[in-house]
Amino acid sequence: MRELDQQQFNSSQDWQNKVILSDCLQSLRAMPSHLVDLIVTSPPYADSRKKTYGGISPDDYVNWFLPISQELKRILKPDGTFILNIKEKVVNGERHNYVIKLILELQKQGWLWTEEYIWHKKNCYPGKWPNRFRDAWERCLQFNKQKKFKMYQERVMIPMGDWANSRLKKLSDTDKIRDHSKVESGFGKNISNWIGRSMAYPTNVLHLATECNNKNHSATFPKSLPSWFIKLFTETSDLVLDPFLGSGTTCIAAKELGRHYIGIEIKKEYYELAVANIEKAVFNIEGKIFDINYEKKETLTMTNSNYQIYYDYIIQNVLNPFYEKRFEKLRQIKLKDIIKRKNPYLFKAKNIELAGDFVKSIVDAFLSSQEETIFGNLLEGFAIYVSQTLYNGFKSNLKSIDLEFEREGIYYIVGIKSGTNWGNSDQVNKMKENFKKAKQFLRQEKRITQEIIAVNGCMYGKDRNPWKESEDLDKSYYKYAGQDFWSFISGGDDNLYQEMILPIDIEAKKKDEIFQATYAAKVNEMTQDFMLEFIKNNQIDWSKLVDYVSKREEVKEEVKIESPVEQLSLNLEESLSSEYSGDVPLDLNDIMDVEEL
């Protein structure tokens, strides 16, 4: 929607998901009363950014804002909330008092000043002026129309961390009685585990990083800021308003959380930027996860709440980097490079005769040879994160060991692999040797006195006999696979292995569409190259192909595909990168381990 013309919107649905180019006062006046559930906004700060979007003089600020807040109050539902992100500017060496005056005037206007949140800008650069340091926080003032307003506190709970551990120490012996795991996999759960993973309510200080990636608007706030308030004060399908929209952050957050939105922006270039940004956002992605979790509200145990942080981790630290890497690999692929690394006889044996099929097969083979390792390493990061969240687990530097943590008086060293068939007997023996060395090292050098148990964790698969006994007890270990592994890592959560699939499913659907388009373009482009070089009489020229891959070096028959510059970079890549060899180790961490023993 462009300018707010004389069009009449009668029902509240008419206003849903609108981005309006206008002065907000004008648009707000056109809106019906009791329309929106939440207002989150960051108005222009008193003329501090005059150059970019026009500022209001600090002395005029209150008078400028009050007619707007009057309208906001009218259109906000009685149980709705208004969040105002604002910070007073320094004028003539002192903080101007227009924010304080504004709060007082808003109270006179009938608003309740319910709360003040501090947005602590975590990644604020250090710096100073002669008489002050750099600003690292901003106010987020909360106003309401009445004392009783909608608020869903469970949605913003955070892991308890150290607080849980100190509570744990005070547990009675009865509390600590072991309750054996249903799968009888050798580790049990007790109340201490329950406490270990419980969640706490946050404070009114929000530690959020600023986002510096929006180059086209000078005053954006991070998406996590409106997201936090949207989760706290609204339900799915509620209507969120930002009358000073800027680059669209509030509406993007609302859309992604499955809420409806209205944004108003006075400047055409920002309006257009916001429209483009909001269009790109995917409706209801995180919201779906929320709905699913929150619909189970009556059974919302500590464990259920905990999944939210796991979902967040998986999306941000597994799926996002996985797709980034897939895109990177796709961009890097060169026909000439990957042809050389694939067995031409195999393709012939599979009777592949279409150029497109041939190219697709070698691209797929190349990508999948990398994907298992990349994804495995990222998922391993998730396992470490779970252990870190619940038991202060940490990434190990010891050879063959990825994770160390302590639970219920036992010290665990864990070597994480993707699937159960990860190694031959030499590799398994090597791991057992390393388990033994690690135990000795931990006892002698780190003075670990409690029992040390070695675990080979496999992120998928099954193993019916987890205890792997050796004559040498220090080489004996448990092999926990699939459900048992995730249950072991989380202290007995038998559902975790299933829960993980939900964010993966949702995020992959979102990302795969773009990946498929890029992939198709790449395969088509490479097919064209292939046809130029290896098609003769409309058939694949297998003889030329086999020559290209296998003919003795001294017979220099050059096949020209890339330009000389590309060829040079290809040669460099070949000599520098072992990733192209296809001999990717099953677990990259194993070769990167620092030998400490």
What is the binding site for ligand SAM (CB under 6 A)? 23-24, 42-44, 53, 217, 219-221, 243-244, 246-247, 249, 264-267, 270
**Among residues 75 and 506, whose Cβ is nearest to ligand SAM?**
75
| Beta carbon nearer to ligand SAM, 71 or 499 | 71
Instruction: Report, in Å, the least distance between residue 243 CB and ligand SAM.
Output: 6
- Least Å distance between CB 222 and ligand SAM? 8
Min dist. Cβ of residue 508 to ligand SAM (A):
28
Number of helices and strands in the chain (H, E): 22, 22
Burial class (CB in 10 A: 0-12, 13-18, 19+), 456: buried
If the CB atoms of residues 56 and 289 are measured against ligand SAM, the closer one turns out to be 56
* Cβ partners under 8 Å of residue 10, min gap 6: 32
Q: What tokens does 107 get?
A: 């109270």
Nearest-approach distance from CB 264 to ligand SAM, in angstroms:
5
Cβ distance to ligand SAM smaller for residue 82 or 480 = 82
In the complex, minimum distance from the CB of residue 221 to ligand SAM, in angstroms, rounded to a whole number: 5
Nearer to ligand SAM, 123 or 518 (CB): 123
For residue 560, the cross-strand partners are: none
Task: Write out the two tokens for 351.
Answer: 């009777």
Residue type, 485: F
How far apart CA 348 and CA 142 sit, in angstroms, is: 69
Report how far residue 67's alpha carbon sits from residue 102's, in angstroms, rounded to the nearest whole number.
Answer: 12
Minimum CB separation from ligand SAM for residue 143, in Å? 17
| Smaller CB separation from ligand SAM, 7 or 213 | 213
Burial of residue 541, with CB atoms counted within 10 A of its CB: 0-12 exposed, 13-18 middle, 19 or more buried: middle
Q: Please, which residues bridge with residue 414 across strands?
A: 403, 455
**479 has which bridge partners?**
456
Helical (H) or strand (E) element with 332:
helix 320-332
243 or 466, CB closer to ligand SAM?
Answer: 243
Smallest distance, ligand SAM to C-beta of residue 235, A:
23
Q: In the block, which residue shows the tokens 């002395």?
A: 59
Structure tokens at 114: 């319910």
In the bound state with ligand SAM, the residue whose beta carbon lies nearer, of 29 and 267, is: 267
Minimal distance, residue 56 CB to ligand SAM, in Å: 8
Cα four-point dihedral sign 91, 95, 97, 103:
positive
Q: Which is nearer to ligand SAM, 286 or 380 (CB)?
A: 286
User: Least separation, in Å, of the C-beta of 217 and ligand SAM?
Assistant: 5
Nearest approach in angstroms of CB 52 to ligand SAM is 8
**Contact between 146 and 112 (Cβ < 8 Å):** yes
Find the residue with minimal CB distance to ligand SAM: 246
Distance CA 279, CA 170 (A): 52
User: Three-state SS string across 372-414, please?
Assistant: HHHHHHHHHHHHHHHHHHHHCCEECCCCCCCEEEEECCEEEEE
Which residue lies nearer to ligand SAM by CB, 217 or 336? 217
Tokens 């650069």, residue?
125
User: Which CB sits closer to ligand SAM, 42 or 490?
Assistant: 42
How near is the Cβ of 119 to ligand SAM at its closest, in Å?
12
Closest CA to 217 of 160, 155, 170, 263: 263
Give CA separation, 444 vs 395, 401, 407, 448, in Å: 20, 17, 20, 8
